[in-house]
Amino acid sequence: MHKPVVTIMAFALLAGCGEAAREDGLGGAAADAPMADGSAAADGTDAIEIVPGSPSPIDDAPPEADEPAPQAEPVISEPFRGRWAKTLDECRTEPAGARIIIGASEVQFAKVTGDPLVVTQLGDRSISVHLRLVAPKMIAERTDRLTIDPDGNSLLYLKGDVPTELKRCPA
Task: Read off the pLDDT of residues 3-51 as tens digits, 9 standing for 90 and up.
Answer: 554 444 444 444 454 444 444 444 444 444 444 454 445 555 555 555 5
**Cα(98)–Cα(101) distance, rounded to whole angstroms?**
10
**Helix, strand, coil percent values for the chain (each to nearest 5):** 20, 35, 45
| Domains of the chain as residue ranges with CATH | 1-59 (no CATH), 78-168 (2.40.128)
For residue range 48-73, list pLDDT tens digits in order. 555 555 555 555 555 555 665 555 67
